[in-house]
Every structure is written in structure tokens, then in C-alpha cells.
Amino acid sequence: MKSPVSNNNTLLYGGDYNPEQWLDHPEILEADIRMMKKAKINTATMGIFSWSTLEPEEGRYDFSFLRERIDTLHKNGIQVILSTPTGARPKWMADRYEEVLRVNEEGQRAYFGFRHNHCMTSPVYREKTREIDCRLAEEFGHHPGVIGWHINNEMGGECYCPLCQQAFRDWVRDRYHSIEAVNKAWNTTFWSHTYQSFDQIEAPSGRGETFLHGLNLAWKRFVTERHLDFTRMEKEAIRSAGSTLPVTINMMYNYTGLNYQEFSEDLDYISWDNYPTWHKTRLYETALDCGMEHDRMRSIKRQPFLLMESSPTSTNWQPISKLRAPGVLALQQMQAIAHGSDGALYFQIRQSRGASEKFHGAVIDHYGGEDTRVFREVTAVGEILEEIREVSGSETEAKVAILYDTENRWAIEDAQGPRNEGMYYRETALSWYRAVKEYGLDVDLIDESQSFCYGDGKSDSYRLVIAPMLYMLRGDITTRLKNFVEAGGILFLTYWSGVVDQDDLCYLGGRPYGMRDLVGFRSEEIDGLYDGMENSGVKVKAENLSEREERILSKMKESYRIDRLAEIEKIEGADVLYTYGSDFYEGRAVLSSHRVGQGYVYGIAAALEQDFCTDLVRAVLEEEGVTSLLGEGHKLPDEVTVNSRTGDDGSVYIFLQNWKDEEQELHLPADCSVILGRDDGKIDALGNLVLKKTLV
């Protein structure tokens, strides 16, 4: 399905535009339009923090500046994504209605200040929000220059006020029905925490309880529910005023305060804000890290998304504001498109004169002219996006998925043991992600609630699903994994899987719970290795192995390094391919393979080095006949990434990006035409290449 903001052969380009900061400078407002057009900007996001300008006194609304700007932008061919202003409230509201301000976990109510610190439960805040959202939607919901809505801004955080505490108790009651069920689910008899009634339940807090993992998990789910409920309320306000335009919220990088997947059905499109720290390490490393995040965002709805914010140059809230080398901006914005974004927007179009973001990079800086390096690079990106605009709306059809689940991560990171000094859930997912990207394929990052079919409404199943540390099992995940494998899918399941249920209670009777017959072993123990300690996984001798296993092993090294975590498995039917090289469990399985129905499960017992992940992914995918996007046998050059998108007419767009500061040679797949970049089989240093393969 297309993203509702993908329209007519256009990739959205532009960003946050805050003209309310410049209303006394008509010459600047005029220059804004001229410069936006020059930079090929076609989209402005507006109204994000405009509440005090839009409603300067309670009940007195003044939308004149917004109307004038939207009209003018529209006349100049620039469309608007309008935001609700609820990410920051006016002072008059905080002064008159204390309840709109958040209370921290120590029980202190915040003073007025910052942004994002409103209570999500407060009836007053909700009423004021509903009122202004309705009025904005009535006024602009049918304006031909407005294409979509953006609710709030990077929502997140927690409020511990009495209203939220009561809402939490109600939420717990709705979920568990009886207090006995709560006590059981949270194992409260430990340390004598037994509750007698729902009224006794309090949010976890450093001054009170933080060790009841079931309570912590419930609170995190509740916080997601509060934000989702608030988002729904805002969306309903917009709809009740007759606007049918698509709605999003802008999500954040690696943010674990909310389970974003829960928003999937309520949002019409997904958007997020990307602020990488380029040059801290090799560009390629940062690119993989951002790439995984792009893929995670796209996978929430498995449809094209929107890069809502990014910096055109430095990012002043980071510890160090590093400038990017020339060329990196185009790589950054093209990366979003390559991974499925239908646009590339910035924060912000004109740099503020004062307050906290006066040194944040912007399209137009304090100097104000077009003859700046940044403005030239922004313009060059605008030209590229125009050139390749036909890719808008095309979709990513990934053959591989990584199960990357926020609730699972909450539980893994909250538990004590087996390594309080770091379980490295995200890093582990990233190692597998890197392995698939280096093979040259697209990847979805899905959670336990999502199906194993890529694309929306399609029946195509992934070929490979990689499940790193599937610790907490939710819903019918084990049945679905089993069905997936039986039908011919390949599953990689690592150590620390099938350990707890959805309330974080440990399963009895052996782990991985519900999957012992799938993996063909039982996990007996798990060893946490001290930092600096190592073991190894050593290839077994080829006797007794099937031809398939022999072929796979022939493509892998004799041994691989292990650190951090090592699980000891008792084999119940699987074939053992690698075993531990040392310690008292020397000789026990490190990698196993188990045939189930038409498919195979690979059990990975320990945290193995990157080369292991890379080699195993390659060997298994080759065995399965899944070829890379470059075609059979063609390896990606070092530090080059590849992604693809498929259009409605079956055309496949292949995006190659060279993160190395050196020109490189490439194999161009057959039957492709070049729609961006060189056509001589080379890719420039820090270059982009887009190919098009048309179905014949």
C-alpha cells in the first residue's frame, strides 16, 4: 500500500518552518520563499510549537499568520504538513491550570518550561488540545496547500501525577480483572509485596518499587497506552472537524520509552527524525546503524514512510557539533529514500536567532545568503530528488526479517542476570542486520505481533527470519514461527530465547519454551562471561553431516570468537555444526541445525563475532538460492550499501551508496538503466547510484 503522503511522482523535500519567529521581518519571510524555491523545497512542516501565537490568551485564537503563510507557500508551489501545537503549551495555561504540568517520579510537579512536559491524562490539557486541533482542522483541513497532519512532536516521557496514577490503576484493573491475578502475574509474594486491592498500586519509582518486573512492564505498557490514547484523541479532533488528511507522529531514533508498533493502526503513515553523529566512526558504521533504524520505521506499517526531520549540517544538542564533509548530506538524505522514505525533510528551514536551537544547523543560516556551502548542498539534494521522483510510492519487498521487539527489549534490559553489564540486545540485532546488508539484501525489522509476510496484504513469506534473544514470548509467536518453518522458512534463533511469558514470569519445564521441538534442544544453563573473557565456536568434523550441512560448513571458518554469553544446550534431535572450544562445556553445541517440515532452524547458542553472523547468513542464503540485489555471485564492494524498492508497474529501483571516500568499481546487474549517477560501472567517492530494472 502506498503511503498517503506519496503523491504524484513527488518526493517531499523541505522541513520545519517556523515563521512565527520572524513576523516582524517581512523581508525575511519573502526571502524564505525565494530561497525555498531555489533549493527545490516543496514541503514545509508548520505549527509545531506555535500554540502561544495561535492562542495568545485563553479562548482567543489568531490563525492569521498561519493562513497568510500557507496561502503564500501554496501560491509558490510549496505544500504544508500542518502540526498540532501540543508538544509545547502556552504559559497562560500552565499558570491557570497546574494539572497540565507533569509530576516526576519523586512526586514534584514541574514548573513551566521546556516542552514535552504536559500530562497526558489531564482533562484540561485534553480539552484545550481538542479545541485548538478542531479549530485548526476546520480552518486548514481543506486547504489545497495542506497535505497532511503531524500530531504533537516527538512525544514521550512519563507523568506520575495523581491523575496518571489513577489511570494506571484503572489500566491494571482492565488488564488483569482481579488483584489475585495481578499478584500471580507479578510474583508479588517475593519480598512480601502482595497487594490487597487495586487502590494500593503505584507506578514504579526510585523512591518506591523498581524490582517487580511485572509492574515495570505494566507501567511501560501503560505509558505507551497514554500516548496512544492522546494521539487518538487528537486524530479524532481533526477528523471531527472534517479533515481526512493523513496523520502521523514523528518518532525518534532508538527510543524505548514507547512501543511504537502499538501506533501502527492509528497512524496513516510513519515518520521519524534522524540525527546521526557522522564522522564519529567510519561513515559506513553510522550508515548501518541509521539504516537499521530506517528499516525499523518502515516496517511498522511495511509501507513507505517519511523522514520528517534531519539536520542539513550540525546538530547542536549533541555533545559535539561536528560538521559533515561535503557529500555526506546527499548520502544521508538518499539513504532515507533508499530505505523507503518518500521524502527527506530537515529541522529547520531558517535558523533561529535565539534560544536553545540558535546554533542548530538550518537550510538558511544567520548570514541569510544562498552562497553558503550548506545551502548549495541542500540545493543539490533537492535537484537529485527531483531527478529520481518516480521512485515515490515504490515499496520495499524484503526477503529477510529480524525480530526486533520493544517489549522484549524492555524485559531483557530490566532483568537482573545473566549479564547486568550489558545484554546488548540492539547491538546483537545490528550484527545480524549487518550480515544481511553485507550479503546485499533488504531487511524488515518486525516485532512479535507482526506476520512473517513482507509487504502489505501480500502473501509472500520471508525466506529467513532472524530472532536474536527472543526472551519474552508474546501472543502466538511460537505457533507462527513453527508454521513459518514447516512451510519452508529458515529461522535463526539465538540463546536466551523462550524464557519468560508476557508478564515476565519465567516458564517452567525447560526453555526455549514452546520451541524445544522446533530447535531440537533444551537450554540447560547460560553462562555470563566477564568482560575480556572469551570462548570459541569450533567447526565439527564432517562425518555424519548431510550434504547440505557440509556445503554450508565449507563456506565457513574453522572457528569463531565468543564473548559475553554462552548457553549450554542439551541436544534433542538437532545436528551439531559448531561446538565450544573451551571451559567445562567444551564440546557442547554452539551452532545447530534442525530440519522441521520444509524448513530449517539454526540454533545459535552463544554471542559470536561478526564474521560468524556474516558467514552463516551468506552460506545459508546461498544454499537457499536467495541471490543478492546485485545478482548471483556479485559481492558488494567494501563500504557500499544496496537497497531496493519496487514500483506498482514492477520496476525495481536499486540504490547503491558508497560510504568510502574513494571511487569504487561495481558490478551493475543486467537489464538495468542508470537513473542517477555514473553508468561506467563505477561509483564516485561518497557517491549515489540509482538503477532501474524494468520488467520485460
Q: Does residue 293 touch ligand GLA according to CB under 6 A? A: no
Give the footprint of ligand GLA on residues 64-103 (CB under 6 A): none
317 or 367: whose CB is closer to ligand GLA? 317
**C-alpha cell belonging to residue 382:** 533537492
HSE-CB for 310 with a 13 A CA cutoff: 28
Q: Total binding residues for ligand GLA by CB under 6 A?
A: 10
Q: How far is the CB of 495 from ligand GLA (least distance, A)?
A: 23
The residue written with cell numbers 507522529 in the block is: 249
Site for ligand GLA in 301-320 (CB under 6 A): 309, 315, 317
Task: Say whether the peptide bond before residue 21 is cis (omega within 30 degrees of 0).
Answer: no
Residue 309 Cβ vs ligand GLA, minimum distance, rounded to whole Å: 5
The DSSP result for 159-172, as a single string, is: --SHHHHHHHHHHH
Instruction: Pick the closer one to ligand GLA by CB: 309 or 615.
Output: 309
The 10 Å CB-count burial string (b at 16+, else e) for 677-686 is beeeeebeeb
Q: What is the per-residue DSSP string for 644-674?
A: EEE-TTS-EEEEEEE-SSS-EE-PPPTTEEE
Question: CB of residue 9 vs ligand GLA: minimum separation in angstroms?
Answer: 28
- Minimum CB–partner distance for residue 250 and ligand GLA (Å): 6
Q: Which is nearer to ligand GLA, 360 or 482 (CB)?
A: 360
**Angstrom distances, CA of residue 579 to CA of 492, 526, 528, 582:** 17, 15, 17, 9
Name the closest residue to ligand GLA (Cβ): 273
Give burial (CB, 10 Å; 0-12/13-18/19+) of 228.
buried
- As a three-state string, the secondary structure of 378-431 is HHHHHHHHHHCHHHCCCECCCCEEEECCHHHHHHHHHCCCCCCCCCCHHHHHHH
Tell me the per-residue interface mask from 353 to 372 with ligand GLA, x by CB under 6 A, - otherwise.
----x--x------------
State which of positions 144-173 bind ligand GLA (CB under 6 A). Answer: 153-154
625 φψ region: left (φ > 0), alpha (ψ -120 to 50), beta (else) = left
Does residue 418 have a cis peptide bond before it, meaning omega lies within 30 degrees of 0? yes
Q: C-alpha angle 234/237/238, rounded to 5°?
A: 90
Q: Which is nearer to ligand GLA, 32 or 154 (CB)?
A: 154
Could you give the string, one character per residue 317-356, with x where binding to ligand GLA holds by CB under 6 A and - elsewhere? x-----------------------------x---------
Q: How far apart are CA 684 and CA 661, in angstroms?
A: 8
Please identify which residue in 275, 410, 439, 471 interacts with ligand GLA, judged by CB under 6 A.
275
Distance CA 566, CA 495 (A): 7
Q: Which is nearer to ligand GLA, 2 or 322 (CB)?
A: 322
Q: Please report, for residues 381, 464, 468, 608, the alpha-carbon distance to residue 408 in angstroms, rounded to integers and kept in the order given.
A: 38, 20, 10, 21
* Of the residues 133, 209, 273, 503, which one makes contact with ligand GLA according to CB under 6 A: 273
Residue type for position 517 = D
CB closer to ligand GLA out of 250 and 502: 250
Residue 192 C-beta: closest distance to ligand GLA, Å = 12
**DSSP string computed for 315-327:** -TTSSS-PPPPTT
Query: How many residues would you count in the chain?
Result: 696
CB of 352 to ligand GLA, least distance (A): 10
Nearer to ligand GLA by Cβ, of 347 and 585: the residue is: 347
Q: Mark 270-298 as b/e (b = at least 16 C-beta within 10 Å).
A: bbbbbbbebeeeebbebbbbbbbbbbbbb
CB of 370 to ligand GLA, least distance (A): 23
Nearest one of 76, 82, 10, 11 to 44, comparing CA atoms: 82
Residue whose CB is less far from ligand GLA, 417 or 509: 417
What's the closest the beta carbon of residue 57 comes to ligand GLA, in angstroms? 25
Shortest separation between residue 531's beta carbon and ligand GLA, angstroms: 21
Per the rule left: phi > 0, alpha: psi between -120 and 50, beta: everything else, 154 is left
Nearer to ligand GLA, 296 or 618 (CB): 296
The CB density around residue 582, as the number of other CB atoms within 10 Å, is 12
As beta bridge partners, residue 693 has 652, 672
The one-character DSSP state at 584 is: T
Question: b/e for 463-493, b at 16 or more Cβ within 10 A?
Answer: bbbbbbbbbbbbeebbeebbebbeeebbbbb
Q: Which residues are catalytic?
A: 154, 309
**Peptide bond preceding 512 in cis form (omega within 30 of 0):** yes
> Based on CB atoms, which residue is closest to ligand GLA, 189 or 582?
189
Q: How far is the CB of 452 from ligand GLA (least distance, A)?
A: 33
Contacts to ligand GLA by CB under 6 A:
153-154, 273, 275, 309, 315, 317, 347, 357, 360
